[in-house]
Structure 1
Amino acid sequence: MALNIVFMGTPDFAVPSLAEIISSGHNIIRVYTQPPRRAGRGKQLTKSTVHQFAELMGLPVATPESFRKSKVIDELEELNADVACVVAYGQILPQRALDAPEYGCLNLHGSLLPRWRGAAPVQRAIMAGDAQTGVQIMQMAKGLDTGDILLSEATDIRPTDTAETLSQRLSQLGSQMWPRALGAIERGALTPTPQSGEATYAHKIEKSEARLDWSRPARDLECHIRGLAPFPGAWCDIAGKRVKVHFATVEDAQGDPGEVLDDRLLIGCGEQALRLTSIQPAGKSRMTADDYLRGTTLAVGTRLD
């Protein structure tokens, strides 16, 4: 039988999941997503990616500002949904909302819980230098990402992964899990497994974290750069101007933190050195270090802030 499903999601990460659930033949009776926000240089009100895709598919969309309002939960309860599928929705659901569908709310989370509970699991996994991460579908509970695990898929974090590429891979991997989870609901075969191990928290990325601290080891900074690429982007000051660093490689060289060690953007760190290979000066497009240096002279021995 086809299930009556409420889908909750907002960014690009959630779209493949919605598409897969539609393709699996279940009934999407309503899509919840964040309200339109002002974006771009013109600060125009822009619908979320999920909102745009849902409308393209002819699905009814709701954009409540908050699920803390009783009227919003009343409307959810009136839908008599079998289950809610939640993917990066961006709102905390109170217990009454979690209990509204017959089988509750299932959430797709981009880490191997209990590691990296919270808002930025993909970024934090790369920034911490983790070798592996994954996606899991869990039964949502009142706490922050504390629910029982229903399905899990792991993947290695590649040396070239950025937050963007890893997020895209996890999004696709996670989307393919939904037909299995929903099929298990139909058969009454979902098997919840409590989370085990020490919990870590993927706190929201703060702007203050983006500035590179050259006193840190080069390996840490290389992970930091990839975890913040492309947004908000790690950065440093070069010749008094802000420059985003999209990619860098670690080299076994020594110099003072922030010291320019050669004529190809090798920078000293607390341990070893970091060669900046892909950068973006303020107001310009992303470019290679070689292209950047054609228009910028940076003497060996210069200190970067």
Structure 2
Amino acid sequence: MRIVFAGTPPVAVPTLDALTESRHDVVGVVTRADAPLGRKRELTPSPVAARAAELALPTIKANRLRDAETDAVAALEPDLGVIVAYGGLLRAPMLAAPRLGWINLHFSLLPRWRGAAPVQRAVMAGDSETGSAVFQLVEELDAGDVFSLERRPIGGDETSGDVLEALSVSGAAQLASVVDQIADGRAVATAQTGTPTLAAKLTLDDARLVLTDAGDEVYARLRGVTPEPGAFVLVGGERFKIHAARLARGAERLAPGGFGARAGRVYLGTATHPLELLTVQPAGKKAMAAADWWRGQKLTEGLVAE
């Protein structure tokens, strides 16, 4: 088949690679426009755009898919559209541009966690498993019939970044298999069953740890927002980032927000078990080992995180 692919972040790249290595023909790529990144705010292609350039694939860069982009896709005469984390909605004209419509690789067990941040929300909620779904794209958010659903446990110390990286690889093979089934006329899609839950896009408020919550809940939130937008608390009114930590179930309990050190290890109190801080980043400084940060503190008495 002739396939047009839409995607933007690193997790979409394995699927693009899988399709280009398949028996099908990727005739074009749709991705979001170059964005300013880094301290110098230099315009930078998306990871999918960069990979498409390496593969010499025609690429459409747009943050909104209007008539011009729809016409450009239709001109490619695709049989099927494939989308993985493009970052924008496809309206009816674009949905109808490929002969067989679009299929979507989504990183959740639909209908649980429809929306922009399914893995992050699953980890934050303390879900024991997640997975990936390949479904027919429709105008309603992540509501189409499902061709394939694969499950995966969420490890007790895995971050959303860990889980997404793994799903991006397994999901690429899963989607490529569905594409073959569609080409051969063997694909069967079934309606979603169960109560949908919404995986809203993460905000900075989601990344702030609530230290009056139980330790398990604080740790789940920390893992869910790692690596992006990145967990933090306030220390002295300034953002104190926590890049890596673990739940210290056997450690002496501390008051919520209180710091403590034992045998070279640094702890932060919650309502129950404390967190052992591993890598932190105080405001205005680079990331460092928590023990190094603690040794550099002149005044630790009464130091509290909020």
Task: Deviation per CA, 1:79-105: give whole Å up to 9, x if none.
Answer: 221100101011100012112211110
Shift of 1:161: 1.1
Q: In the TM superposition, what is the alpha-carbon distance from 1:127 to its structure 2 partner?
A: 0.8
Q: How does 1:51-66 map to 2 (within 5 A)?
A: 51-66=49-64
Structure 1 position 288, deviation (Å): 2.6
Deviations, residues 106-136 of structure 1 (Å, cap 9, x unaligned): 0000111111100011111111111100111
Q: Name the CA distance, whole Å, in 2 between partners of 1:267 and 1:121.
A: 28
Residues 1:22 and 2:23 are matched in the alignment: no
Contact persistence 2:157–2:246 (CA under 8 A):
no
Retained in 2: the 8 A contact 1:235–1:242? yes
Per mean C-alpha deviation after superposition, the further-off stretch among 289-298 and 161-170 is: 289-298
Residue 198 of structure 1 aligns to a residue whose secondary structure is coil
TM-superposition CA deviations, 1:133-174 (whole Å, max 9, x none)? 011111001100001111121111112211211111010011
- Is there any run of 5+ residues in structure 2 with no aligned partner, and where? none
Kept in 1, the 8 Å contact 2:29–2:52? The answer is yes
**Distance in 2 between residues matched to 1:279 and 1:225, nearest whole Å:** 12
Question: Is residue 174 from structure 1 mapped to residue 171 from structure 2 by the alignment?
Answer: yes
TM-score by length of 1: 0.93
SS in 2 for 1:51: helix
Checking the alignment, whether the CA contact within 8 Å between 2:257 and 2:305 is kept in structure 1 is yes
- Look up the match of 2:31: 33
What is the one-letter code of the residue matched to 1:9? G
State the partner residue of 1:287. Answer: 288
**Residues 214/105 of structure 1: CA separation in 2 closer, same or farther (3 Å cut):** same
| Aligned partners of 1:245 and 1:276 also within 8 Å | yes
Aligned residue among 231, 240, 243 for 1:243: 240
The AA in structure 2 aligned to 1:48 is S
The 1:216/1:107 distance shift into structure 2, 3 A limit, reads same
Aligned to 1:107: 104
- Going from structure 1 to structure 2, the CA distance change for 1:283 and 1:29 (only over 3 Å counts) comes to same
Judge which range, 246-255 or 191-200, deviates more: 246-255
Q: Percent identity?
A: 36
Work out whether 1:139 is the aligned partner of 2:140: no
Equivalent residues of 1:256, 1:268 under 8 A apart: yes
> Which residue of the other structure, out of 7, 10, 34, is the alignment partner of 1:9?
7
Aligned to 1:116: 113
Q: What is the deviation of 1:291?
A: 2.0
* Contact 2:18-2:176 within 8 A present in 1 as well: yes
* Structure 2 counterpart SS, 1:20: helix
Whether the 8 Å contact between 1:222 and 1:250 is mirrored in structure 2 is no
Q: Distance in 2 between matches of 1:75 and 1:59?
A: 14
Distance verdict in 2 for CA 1:286–1:193, change over 3 Å:
same
Match of 1:96 among 93, 96, 99: 93
Q: How far off is 1:217 after superposition?
A: 0.8
Aligned to 2:160: 163
CA drift at 1:302: 3.8
Other-structure match for 1:259: 258
Q: Distance in 2 between matches of 1:57 and 1:161?
A: 32
> 280-289 or 119-128: which moved more?
280-289
Q: Distance in 2 between matches of 1:250 and 1:298?
A: 24
CA distance in structure 2 between the aligned counterparts of 1:198 and 1:284, rounded to whole angstroms: 45
Which 4+ residue blocks in structure 1 deviate beyond 4 angstroms? none
Is the partner of 2:57 in helix, strand or coil?
coil
Structure 2 residue identity aligned to 1:304: A
Query: Structure 1 stretches of 5 or more lacking a match?
Result: none
